[in-house]
Structure 1
Amino acid sequence: MSLSEGENIAFLTSSLSKSYGLIRAVSGVTVSVRKGAIGLLGPNGAGKSTLIKTLLGLIAPTEGSYKVQGRDEGYLDSVGYMPEHDCLPGGLTAVGFVSYMGRLSGLPPDVSMERTHEILDFVGLDEARYRKIKSFSTGMRQKVKLAQAMVHDPEILFFDEPTNGLDPEGRKEMLDLIRDVADSGKTIVLSTHLLPDVEYVCKDVMIMNNGELILYDSLENVLGTQNLIVRVKGDPGPFSGALRRMGYSAEVSGGKVLVGGNASSKEVFMAARESDAQVRYISYHSHTLEELFLQLVGDK
């Protein structure tokens, strides 16, 4: 999808990269992401958390630029973040911590306390909210992390592996909460390696691997149309470019190209002739999300 700005855009990036020495954690990501419920998928080390932390201003990009809510600064009061790793102060109560986070986000003390109780009601922490966090179970701690991300009523919420460590019942409860947030009109970005979580909550999907964004589309488009997975010999760039000029989407992952828009093998070979590419194989079928994910990142 092309890079563009507008009222319906949650965030956008242009050639965004982040390197740690010789390791390129995020590599040349250019994307314009619609508001809504977005799943950010990828194996461990794909660059998901690094992308989120860059968008939150927690780390500076090595190259490129980005905007959140149409702004490149001054937007943090409109975003919330539920981090992957536990970072909760065990000596505070849930009420004390969440209300403190509300004040840090700019809420007056009385408003922050009122919002704290509203959000703790929403996540299902009843009398436990007055206990110290160090006594909480994993599921309760995850609820506190969710509450602090929501207390200031942000427009965009980033969830980084929110179901980590939860049993099946706790995982379902957390996903229901996140889906309720999305259904209320907020934009949510759910970063996970669990495909069923994305299918349960999200409308759009982004897939990253080795720091690259290799797919961004709606789940309806991805799962509701027939796609081609094409492997070509050599650089797939000219081949994918020829397909795009013909009006088809073409996302590159290594030597494989995911071709959307119900293209047929005829169009594939036309693009191959135009770009002087050699087609090695074509796989043609409607994908489940798991099949698509494995096709794109399974052997990389």
Structure 2
Amino acid sequence: MSDTVIDIAETRKRYRGGVEALRGVSLKVPKGGIFGLLGPNGAGKSTLVKILLSIVRPSQCDGTMLGMPIGHKATLSRVGYLPEHARFPEYLKGGEVIRYVAGLGGVPKDQAAKRSQELLEMVGMQDWANRKMGSYSKGMKQRIGLAQSLVNNPEIVFLDEPTDGVDPKGRMEMRAVLKRMKDEGRTVFINSHLLGELEMICDSVAIMDQGEIIRQGSIADLTDKTRRYEINVSGDISGSLISELKSHEVEVEGEILTMYQRDAEKVQPVIDALRSAGVTIVTMTEARQSLEDLFMETVGNHGPGAAMPPKLPGKEKA
């Protein structure tokens, strides 16, 4: 059994007039996790998802989804989808929308009714099931949209901006739903510009720009080189103490000490040296590059005329 649900290579899409939306995209999505596809507007994210869902025909696409060639129609019955700006008939009630989508997907009527009730409870809309969509807020419509994407019990779910229009409390509840989907063994594929949201829930990401995948992998692996310990101190840091700290590759900036290190044991001699010198350790935190910083660095350093990647502090030798 493959541990990859999407595995594509050299995916291209050229529109009339020679516009290249995708330029040789290669992508692997692990099974059973939450995957985030990031990129600025016009990067090609939506085009890529629509090709995977057979909504848009690729100019070229080699690869598989759920073990079958991209474009295999029967495989789509194992896939769920919530498009960006999804619209449903305003005159239908929330529960009716889910049952309507179930009918389109070939879900038996008795199963659809039971599944509809379960999903309404899952997204916190059971008390609004008999209200018309036209009376819903945008966030409530998004919840119904999320519920309908699960009605066929899919193995992989594509969500385009799933928390768009959802208030902070609703976003927290949405994150819980997405984690539950992951715990159920589903693969969740998210397009979103809310990097802080993705950082809290994604196991792996791909960064896309100008029709290409620039970087991909787990967030931990992509930010590994920036892992560090930051120590906030109070006291006199001078003389022999400075020399000892530098011997451990500690950067000193005022009362902030930074040590690019993954191993906590290697920080202990630094702590001992500070205590021996009578310096008070106020706080010590483990830090790494944020997803937003990673995104801005990657996109900012890509393309014609892009600046060279900034050097990480502490990496230059004197």
Q: Which 5+ residue runs of structure 1 have no aligned equivalent? A: 1-5, 228-261, 263-284
277, 284, 291: which one pairs with 1:289?
291
Alpha-carbon distance in structure 2 between the residues aligned to 1:27 and 1:207: 14
- Partner of 2:315 in structure 1? none
Deviations along 1:260-300, whole A, 9 cap, x unmatched? xx9xxxxxxxxxxxxxxxxxxxxxx9632222111111365
- Partner of 2:79 in structure 1? 79
**2:93–2:133 Cα contact (<8 Å) kept:** yes
**1:10–1:70 Cα contact (<8 Å) kept:** yes
Alpha-carbon distance in structure 2 between the residues aligned to 1:286 and 1:125: 38
Q: Which 5+ residue runs of structure 2 have no aligned equivalent? A: 228-261, 263-286, 304-318
**1:207–1:214 Cα contact (<8 Å) kept:** yes
- Partner of 1:44 in structure 2? 41
Q: Does 1:28 align with 2:20?
A: no
* Number of residue-to-residue matches in the alignment: 239
Q: CA RMSD in A?
A: 1.9
- Partner of 2:7 in structure 1? 12
Query: Rg larger in 1 or in 2?
Result: 2
Call closer, same or farther: CA 1:185–1:14 in 2, change over 3 Å: same
Alpha-carbon distance in structure 2 between the residues aligned to 1:56 and 1:13: 13
Moved more, 114-123 or 99-108: 99-108
Alpha-carbon distance in structure 2 between the residues aligned to 1:286 and 1:170: 28
**2:91–2:134 Cα contact (<8 Å) kept:** yes
The amino acid across from 1:30 in the alignment is S
The amino acid across from 1:92 in the alignment is L
**1:123–1:177 Cα contact (<8 Å) kept:** yes
Q: How far has the Cα of 1:198 moved from its partner?
A: 1.3
**1:42–1:208 Cα contact (<8 Å) kept:** yes
**2:5–2:66 Cα contact (<8 Å) kept:** yes
Q: Does 1:221 align with 2:221?
A: yes
Q: How far has the Cα of 1:167 moved from its partner?
A: 2.4
How high is the sequence identity, in percent, across the aligned residues?
Answer: 38
Q: How far has the Cα of 1:34 moved from its partner?
A: 1.3
Q: What are the equivalent positions in structure 2 for 1:1-300 lying under 5 Å apart?
A: 7-21=2-16, 22-35=18-31, 36-72=33-69, 73=72, 74-226=74-226, 287-298=289-300
The amino acid across from 1:129 in the alignment is A
Call closer, same or farther: CA 1:298–1:170 in 2, change over 3 Å: farther
The amino acid across from 2:204 in the alignment is D
Deviations along 1:47-97, whole A, 9 cap, x unmatched? 111111110111110122332101121211111001111321111111111
**2:34–2:203 Cα contact (<8 Å) kept:** yes
Alpha-carbon distance in structure 1 between the residues aligned to 2:143 and 2:19: 34
Q: How far has the Cα of 1:172 moved from its partner?
A: 2.2
**1:55–1:66 Cα contact (<8 Å) kept:** no
Runs (4 or more) in structure 1 with deviation over 4 Å come to: none
